[in-house]
Amino acid sequence: MKLLARALRLCEFGRQASSRRLVAGQGCVGPRRGCCAPIQVVGPRADVLPSGACITGRIMRPDDANVAGNVHGGTILKMIEEAGAIISTRHCNSQNGERCVAALARVERTDFLSPMCIGEVAHVSAEITYTSKHSVEVQVNVMSENILTGAKKLTNKATLWYVPLSLKNVDKVLEVPPVVYSRQEQEEEGRKRYEAQKLERMETKWRNGDIVQPVLNPEPNTVSYSQSSLIHLVGPSDCTLHGFVHGGVTMKLMDEVAGIVAARHCKTNIVTASVDAINFHDKIRKGCVITISGRMTFTSNKSMEIEVLVDADPVVDSSQKRYRAASAFFTYVSLSQEGRSLPVPQLVPETEDEKKRFEEGKGRYLQMKAKRQGHTEPQP
């Protein structure tokens, strides 16, 4: 109770400080809106890289965090997507022509570098780093600020891909206004990233028929014991101008389910460590019922990989069948009450499919471990 009371006082202090700053002409005010910093455009020209940056920020409240005071990974992912959607939509409408809204197509692997806590301010900055004919690459950074001490730290770096959809015809993908690169290497490197993510998106489609089935009386530490599902009716507040779900809303729900799976498996405080590439296979319309399912696929000594699948059921449209809308892998770690990492109970795969997914998860884990070690090795 003392911790919660302290967090509430800190949150209220931050909200008041934010409101005082905004009253000075920097943004909106109000008891619920005073935490939202204005969105700014930086740079003389939006069509020259580095592109005009989109900067947003707000204070973290108790309802943004878990019982230990750590901000949910889904909350941060939602803020990241909102910033990306703003800057990509703004860029795609920067020239005269058919108006559009940028829709999230993919999120590259995102690491949670440092936890964020109640009372801290999240500063989210986004800039366009590459454009192809029909897509926009956006780089987003998240900084946390302790408003009592002024200390700041980088908590997240993410890369997102958007496609512009016409406001007149949601199935029509428009062309993206080109950008001017300051160096030739920027365009070449961006093209390589574009081709790589395009290939990876194609490789994930084979999993679209895979579903999570419930099992009666499962044993502890098995896949069936911790697997979880969440059913959500898509309402107007979840959607864009098109009437389709915001990518950030979907990611937040995915993180919630992944967190439930992780907590059920280890029965401790858990936090999001990273998110592998999130692929959005199809749009989700307003009025759909979506089922977000999560299952444990792999455990190392101190981490858990959870696969999350999103299926959409257009209940108001009998002509369309249930379909796979999104999929991703989340990695969680178990923490003690003091915030130290704890060993994770080892997963016991039972079926042949579970054993296959375990080996695939182990391969991804070893690949990322080798990549991290390669980055940390001192240069000769």
Residue 297 contacts residue 358 (beta carbons within 8 Å): yes
Cα 36 from Cα 53, distance rounded (Å): 17
Q: What is the mean pLDDT of the chain?
A: 83
In order of 27, 34, 75, 257, 258, the CA distances from 252 in angstroms are: 26, 23, 6, 9, 10
Residue 100, pLDDT score: 93
In a domain, 135, yes or no: yes
Residue 367 contacts residue 329 (beta carbons within 8 Å): no
Residue of 235 and 241 predicted with greater confidence: 235
Average pLDDT over residues 118-143: 96
3-state helix/strand/coil string of 50-95: CCCCEEEEEECCHHHECCCCEECHHHHHHHHHHHHHHHHHHHHCCC
The DSSP secondary-structure symbol of 240 reads -
Domain shared by 126 and 159, yes or no: yes
Residue at 3: amino acid letter: L
Residue 75, pLDDT score: 95
What is the value of pTM for the model shown? 0.80
Domain shared by 81 and 224, yes or no: no
CATH at 370? 3.10.129.10
In a domain, 85, yes or no: yes
Which residue shows structure tokens 């098109």? Answer: 242
Residue 34, pLDDT score: 34
Domain shared by 167 and 217, yes or no: no
Residue 204, pLDDT score: 66
Residues labelled as active-site residues: 66, 255
In a domain, 307, yes or no: yes
Res. 5: pLDDT tops 90: no
CA-nearest of 36, 72, 33 to 55 is 36
Lowest mean pLDDT among 46-55, 132-141, 217-226: 46-55
In order of 83, 93, 105, the CA distances from 159 in angstroms are: 12, 21, 11
Residue 364, domain extent: 210-375
Residue 246, pLDDT score: 93
Percent of the chain residues past pLDDT 70, beyond the cut:
82
CA-nearest of 304, 290, 294 to 347 is 304
Residue 17, pLDDT score: 39
pLDDT tens, residue by residue, 293-324: 999 999 999 999 999 999 999 988 777 889 99
pLDDT tens, residue by residue, 252-308: 999 999 999 999 999 999 999 999 889 999 999 999 999 999 999 999 999 999 999
Residue of 73 and 211 predicted with greater confidence: 73
Cα 170 from Cα 283, distance rounded (Å): 10
pLDDT tens, residue by residue, 160-218: 999 999 999 888 999 999 998 988 899 999 999 999 888 887 766 555 556 677 777 78
In a domain, 19, yes or no: no
In a domain, 38, yes or no: no
